[in-house]
Structure 1
Amino acid sequence: MKILVVCGAGASSTFVALKVRKAAAERGVAVEVRAGSADQLEAFGDLDVVLVGAHLAASVDELRARARALGASVAVLPAVSPAALDGDEALDLALDTRAAAL
């Protein structure tokens, strides 16, 4: 499964992507997790799930439409700081979002 974590500028998404990768490795879940800004969405191409930072909630409808054109589903991450975000929780959100789309 291919996951993209997006935020406004790409900095906090990198931190979250690392946590998701770690959680997936510990659980033996095969995922490819990348990070970037919302402006770069189309540049990432083939995606299954886009995890969106809560601070971009106002842009979710637009991001959902752009992601849908790429064949991806969108989920909004919990409204906590990237340092406090649990990697397992974010991974579960991505897995559940993908399962619901199938």
Structure 2
Amino acid sequence: MRIHIVCGAGASSTFVALRLRRSAAARGMSAHVTAGSESDLASMLPVIDVLLVGPHLQGMFAQIQQQAAVAGVLASLMPATVFSARDGEEALDLALATASTRS
């Protein structure tokens, strides 16, 4: 699974991506996880399966979700607790739940 985490500037999403990678590895899962800013999103959509969006972009989420859908990418808005978590379990669970909605 190819997961991209997006936030405003890309800094906080980098930490979430690192924790998510560790959690995926601990579960024995193969996951390619990247992080970036909202401004880089268009270049990432063609190469990902799931998009996780930082809660501070909630006001833009409908637009981001629509942009992702056009590219065939499933998107979910992350709760703020993902950024304060010590591990990537919540983010990984959200990515898996998002991926499972594909028909």
Aligned CA RMSD, in angstroms, stands at 1.4
Structure 2: how far apart are the matches of 1:50 and 1:81? 14
Runs of 4+ in 1 over 3 A off after TM superposition: none
Structure 2: how far apart are the matches of 1:66 and 1:46? 14
* Aligned residue in 2 for 1:53: 54
Matched letter for residue 18 of structure 1: L
In 2, are the aligned partners of 1:54 and 1:77 still within 8 Å (CA)?
yes
* Aligned residue pair count: 102
Task: Call closer, same or farther: CA 1:79–1:28 in 2, change over 3 Å.
Answer: same
Tell me the TM-score normalised to structure 1 length. 0.92
Task: Call closer, same or farther: CA 1:36–1:20 in 2, change over 3 Å.
Answer: same
Task: Call closer, same or farther: CA 1:53–1:85 in 2, change over 3 Å.
Answer: farther
* Aligned residue in 2 for 1:13: 13
Task: Call closer, same or farther: CA 1:100–1:81 in 2, change over 3 Å.
Answer: closer
Unpaired runs of 5+ in structure 2?
A: none
Tell me the TM-score normalised to structure 2 length. 0.92
Instruction: State the identity %.
Output: 46
Matched letter for residue 75 of structure 1: S
Unpaired runs of 5+ in structure 1?
A: none
Structure 2: how far apart are the matches of 1:71 and 1:82? 26
In 2, are the aligned partners of 1:47 and 1:71 still within 8 Å (CA)?
no
- For 1:13, what is the secondary structure of its paired residue? helix
Structure 1: how far apart are the matches of 2:41 and 2:64? 8
What is the CA-CA distance between 1:85 and the residue it aligns to?
5.8
* Aligned residue in 2 for 1:90: 91
What is the CA-CA distance between 1:38 and the residue it aligns to?
1.1
In 2, are the aligned partners of 1:4 and 1:34 still within 8 Å (CA)?
yes
Q: Deviations over 1:39-84 (max 9, x none)?
A: 1111112211100011111111010011112211111111237243
Matched letter for residue 80 of structure 1: T
